[in-house]
């Protein structure tokens, strides 16, 4: 097996719950022993659980899955400090922030969808076929507010920042890293190179982006208005179109057009080929999978990357 990837050995559910209880006790968070904990095993970077404390408050608990996530969490804390004072929606406020354990009071709202890890599919709280105007408008307003945070502000807060003139070079470098590690089909590689070569697709500005804005990270209220955003590990100052790709993948082209229209009304900056650029970004999602596989060392994601990259997957015999 390639040394860059390895197979994970998951703990049992009871072992995971015991981890949370022991760490909460170590950091003086008094959980209510008569209130059941709910495990959320869907996150790639953190194992999460919801629990109640002895004062009947709801808390979210997080344990990093891998050593590399500890550094990511320290970075995320900087992001939360910045966006927490800049957005019209709530973000987590970490009351406990330690390398092995993070805990914060649960935000109001419900995820637009949760991931069923067994079925590898979303369980929806909103209508995925026709997202409501309330959802689209409020998401657009939150995204526009986030994207108004510029590179200088992000850099001053200690966040990663890429300038607009460097976006294509950074994308090309990421593609090359993945190609060297896994290979890429000729058709996919040629499509990416044509996209990189055409400046008309690309924005002339950058902004602070969430970086992983899928439905599980979007909280909605009882009227389906966005009221909170979760999991900011991938945030950086970069290509604002990135935050539209998950929406496009899930809800489709028509809903994307509606979101872009509302985004512009809310003050978001658009450009002539932004919608096409979002589609091209979505078509390059295999790069994101490949980079995550290399970063995490998880063989299952390496296999996913090879499949998405159009590379034959040779599974070893048991």
- pLDDT tens track for 94-147: 999 999 999 999 999 999 998 887 777 899 999 999 999 999 999 999 999 999
pLDDT on residue 9: 62
pLDDT in tens, 33-88: 999 999 988 777 899 999 999 999 999 999 998 888 999 999 999 999 999 999 99
Domain locations in the chain as residue ranges = 13-162+206-283
Its pTM stands at 0.90
> Comparing C-alpha atoms, which of 274, 78, 64 is closest to residue 160?
78
Does the annotation mark 212 as catalytic? yes
> Comparing C-alpha atoms, which of 266, 274, 275 is closest to residue 139?
266
Backbone angles phi, psi at 246, to 5 degrees: -65, -40
pLDDT at 154 over 80: yes
Tell me which fold the domain 13-162+206-283 belongs to: Phosphorylase Kinase; domain 1 (3.30.200)
- Choosing from 212, 231, 239, 243, the catalytic residue is 212
For residue 269, count CB atoms less than 10 angstroms from its CB and return exposed for 0-12, middle for 13-18, buried for 19 or more: middle
> Comparing C-alpha atoms, which of 83, 86, 62 is closest to residue 73?
62
Which three-class secondary structure state does DSSP give residue 276? helix
């Amino acid at each position: 097996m390639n040394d860059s990837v390895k197979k994970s050995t998951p703990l049992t559910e009871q072992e995971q719950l015991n981890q949370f209880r022991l760490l909460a006790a170590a950091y003086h968070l008094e959980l209510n022993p008569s209130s059941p904990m709910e495990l959320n095993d869907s996150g790639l970077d953190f194992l999460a659980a919801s629990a109640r404390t002895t004062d009947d408050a709801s808390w979210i608990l997080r344990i990093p899955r891998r050593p590399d996530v500890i550094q990511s969490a320290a970075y995320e804390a900087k992001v939360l400090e910045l966006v927490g004072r800049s957005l019209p929606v709530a973000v987590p406020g970490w009351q406990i922030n330690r390398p092995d354990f993070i805990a914060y009071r649960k935000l109001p709202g419900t995820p637009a969808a949760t991931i069923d890890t067994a079925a590898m599919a979303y369980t929806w709280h909103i209508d995925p076929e026709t997202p409501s105007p309330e959802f689209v408008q409020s998401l657009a307003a939150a995204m526009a507010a986030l994207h108004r945070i510029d590179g200088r502000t992000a850099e001053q807060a200690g966040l990663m920042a890429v300038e607009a003139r460097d976006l294509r070079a950074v994308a090309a470098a990421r593609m090359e890293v993945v190609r060297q590690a896994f290979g890429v089909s000729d058709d996919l590689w040629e499509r990416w190179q044509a996209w990189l070569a055409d400046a008309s697709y690309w924005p002339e500005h950058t902004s602070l982006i969430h970086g992983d804005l899928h439905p599980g990270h979007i909280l909605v209220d009882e009227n389906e208005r966005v009221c909170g955003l979760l999991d900011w590990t991938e945030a950086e100052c970069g290509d604002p179109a990135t935050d539209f790709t998950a929406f496009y993948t899930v809800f489709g082209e028509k809903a994307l057009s509606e979101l872009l229209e509302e985004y512009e009304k809310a003050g978001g900056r658009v450009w002539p080929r932004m919608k096409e650029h979002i589609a091209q970004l979505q078509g390059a999602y295999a790069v994101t999978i490949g980079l995550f596989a290399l970063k995490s060392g998880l063989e299952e994601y390496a296999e996913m990357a090879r499949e998405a990259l159009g590379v034959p997957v040779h599974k070893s015999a048991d």
